[in-house]
Chain A
Amino acid sequence: MSRRITEILVGLFVLLGLLALLFLALKAANLGSFSTEDSYRLSARFDNIGGLKVRAPVRSAGVTVGRVAGITLDAKTYQGVVTMDIRKGLQFPKDSSANILTSGLLGDQYIGIEPGGAEAYLADGATITHTQSALVLENLIGQFLFSKAADAGSAGGAKKP
């Protein structure tokens, strides 16, 4: 009898462990959000992917519709090739554009898809041709300083006779 009680208690213990695992996996981690759903694959080429990472979200109108599956460099064109898993059932027109955006000023980068107006849809394995690269803050600051310097130079030149 006491052995049976021990077994029941151990069964409860293991069950508690499994429940904890289930809680952590489903409620406190990302299992069940996307990885198991059916998806199809799109790719896009960017001149500069900035800080985009694998598993970053793909959003359209702010709604997450997929995840970045892989990032590689095209050896011929030296462009970054980003492959994305998009949820099945969501189709985008052929002339949709993909932009690398940043959530908030310091947030993570994600891909935003702007749907176009074409009649035909992007099929599995298709490549999005209209892309806009990530905004690199350093380049932006560089351009800003350069244009300021140019302004100052031309202004100074105009004042002095």
Chain B
Amino acid sequence: MTDALAGLGRFSLDALRALGHAAFFFVDLLRFSPAALRRFDLVVAQVHAIGNRSLLIIGASGLAVGFVLALQMYYALVTYGAAESLGLVVNLALVRELGPVVAALLFAGRAGTSLTAEIGLMKAGEQLAAMELMAIDPRARVLAPRFLGGIVAMPILALLFSTIGILGAYVVAVLLIGVDAGNFWSIMQAKVDVWRDLGNGIVKSAVFGLICTFVALYQGYECRATPEGVSQATTHTVVIASLGVLCMDFVLTALLFSTP
């Protein structure tokens, strides 16, 4: 009985301690970010590693999502004679939700894991310890540029995802099915608001980029410096970042889209 109680207590304390630890780590990252801005070439290199190298998977997924969304929506809408609204439906779905969320999930899988594994291996190879020995804070030199790079790259990737998705929907709807091209665009333009829909989508994707990069860096920096530790941390990155994105998506949708 007391054992169970002690177990519950230990579990709660551990969870709280990990949360506090992560919060301090987050504050540290924010504190070192201005210094990383001064070494801008490091941030640029990270945007390349995180952003450019994710382009292919983001583009391919966006195209596939746009194709499928257009086809499914066409089958659903054509029964109501509203096939022209196809562009609007696809646009809103992509810009508001699917663009930021799916791009963030892919981002966690494509860029987050590589960040965790890279930093975890740096730790296992005692490169981070060697840096500290030379009085260079690895959080400033290694982590902060990656953090900024992730926050910059993610909204761009989400925008590209939405754009390619809409172009994909155009190909299916207008070129293959034969929906009127003028209506496809004009209904979209009439009903999609730049600030409310597009702006909030960008805010969302920036927050998701922050979450994914932060989780990846934290997992890499705090992993056990063994092969198992690194592999576990990589798995944790995907799971925690994905869940974080999905939870935050609900909160952000409730906050950003609540006002009429």
Do they bind each other? yes
Provide the bound-state CA to CA distance between A54 and B153, in Å.
35
If A6-B44, A9-B52 are given as contacts, then 7 extra A-B residue pairs at C-beta distance below 8 Å, sorted by A number, are A10-B52, A20-B162, A21-B202, A25-B194, A27-B189, A29-B197, A30-B189
Which B residues lie within 8 Å of A17 (CB)?
Answer: 155-157, 159-160
Interface residue? A118 (CB, 8 A) = no
Instruction: Return the contact of B193 from the options A20, A21, A29 (Cβ within 8 A).
Output: A29
CA distance A29 to B95 in the complex (A): 10
- B145-172 CB mask vs A (1 if < 8 Å, else 0) is 0000000010111011011001000000
Q: How far is the CA of A57 from the CA of B189 in the complex (A)?
A: 13
B91 in the interface, Cβ–Cβ < 8 Å?
A: yes
Interface residue A24 (Cβ < 8 Å from any Cβ of B): yes
A13-B194 contact, Cβ under 8 Å, with A3-B41, A24-B162, A30-B189? no
A123 within 8 A of B: no
Complex contacts, B198 vs chain A, CB 8 Å: 21, 24-25, 29
| Contact A10 to B163, CB < 8 A, known contacts A24-B198, A28-B185, A29-B193 | no
Q: Do A30 and B95 touch (CB < 8 A)?
A: no
B233 touches A (CB below 8 Å): no
A31 at the interface (CB under 8 A from B): yes
Q: Per a CB cutoff under 8 Å, which of B41, B45, B157, B163 touches A24?
A: B163
Chain B 95-109 against A: per-residue CB contact (8 Å), 1 yes, 0 no?
100000000000000
Contacts of B52 in A (CB 8 A): 9-10, 12-13
Given A3-B41, A13-B48, residue A24 in contact with residue B190 (CB < 8 A)? no
- For window 74-99 of B, CB contacts with A under 8 Å fall at 87, 91, 95
Q: Is A87 an interface residue (CB 8 A)?
A: no
Instruction: Determine whether A16 belongs to the interface, using a CB cutoff of 8 Å to chain B.
Output: yes
Contact A10:B51 (CB < 8 A) given known A3-B41, A29-B189, A30-B189: yes
Shortest Cβ distance from B186 into chain A, in angstroms?
A: 9
A28 to B185, CA, bound (A): 7
**Does the CB pair A13–B51 fall under 8 Å?**
yes
Of A7, A30, A57, the most chain B CB neighbours within 10 A belong to A30
| In contact, A6 and B48 (Cβ under 8 angstroms) | yes
Min CB distance, A60 to chain B, in Å? 17
Asked whether B192 is an interface residue with its Cβ less than 8 Å from the other chain, the reply is yes
Looking at A3, A10, A53, the one whose CB has the most chain B CB atoms below 10 A away is A10
Bound-state Cα–Cα, A6 to B197, Å:
33
Please tell me if the beta carbons of B156 and A31 are within 8 angstroms of each other in the complex: no
Q: Are B41 and A13 in contact, with the CB atoms below 8 A?
A: no
Q: Write the residues of chain A forming the contact surface with B, with a CB cutoff of 8 angstroms.
A: 3, 6-7, 9-10, 12-14, 16-17, 20-21, 23-25, 27-31, 33, 35, 53-55, 57
| A5 CB, min distance to chain B CBs, angstroms | 9
A3–B44 CA distance with the chains assembled, in angstroms: 9
A29 to B44, CA, bound (A): 31
Residues 43-70 of B, flagged 1 when their CB comes within 8 A of A and 0 if not, give: 0110110011001000000000000000
B207 CB within 8 Å of chain A: no
B142 interface contact, C-beta 8 A: no
Query: Does any Cβ of A come within 8 Å of B188's Cβ?
Result: yes
Q: What's the Cα separation between A23 and B48 when bound, in Å?
A: 23
Q: Are A28 and B48 in contact (CB under 8 A)?
A: no
CB of B192 within 8 A of CB of A30, answer yes
* CA of A55 to CA of B197, assembled, Å: 14
**CB <8 Å contact, A29 and B155:** no
Give bound CA distance, A140 to B216, whole Å. 61
Whether A16 contacts B156 by the Cβ 8 Å rule is yes
Partner of A13, one of B156, B166, B193, B260: B156
CB of A29 within 8 A of CB of B188, answer yes
Q: How far is the CA of A53 from the CA of B157 in the complex (A)?
A: 34
Option from B41, B48, B160 in Cβ contact (under 8 Å) with A20: B160
CB distance from B160 to the nearest CB of A (A): 5
